[in-house]
Amino acid sequence: ILHYTASTRTNSSLYKSLSSEEVHDEVTRILCGIAKPVSDVLCGIAKPLTRILYRALRPLSSASKPLAGVISSALRPASSIVGSTLSPFASVLHCACDPVTQ
């Protein structure tokens, strides 16, 4: 607990000594650094999950169970949709974090 308290005091005094521009630059650096890994992880999770759900529902799809067939067909493209939706996340955040030049 003492180590945590001392470390917290050190960090808070460090942040108090930073100017608002330095804080903005630090936050920008951190956000731009995590954008790509986050989108990679989310896309990586979506593909196997969709594949598992599709394989689980595939045996249910038949002429006698059209709803299961519709659900199963709808899941096929889901991983590409999720991946394509999330992949621009990194570039959009990166562009938003880039400094504005005049």
Q: How many domains is the chain partitioned into structurally?
A: 1
pLDDT band, residue 27 (cuts 50/70/90): confident
Q: What is the per-residue burial (b if ≥16 Cβ within 10 Å, else e) of 60-75?
A: ebeeeeeeebeebeeb
Judge whether 21 lies within some domain.
no
Cα-to-chain-centroid distance, residue 42: 5
Look up the domain containing 83 and give its range.
30-97
Contact call for residues 40 and 88 (beta carbons, < 8 A): no
For residues 91 and 14, give the distance between their C-alpha atoms in angstroms, rounded to a whole number: 31
Segment 49-97, tens digit of pLDDT:
777 776 776 665 555 566 666 666 666 555 555 555 555 555 555 454 4
Confirm whether 80 is domain-assigned: yes
- Does residue 5 carry a pLDDT above 60? no
Between 19-23, 33-37, 70-74, 75-79, the lowest mean confidence (pLDDT) is in 75-79
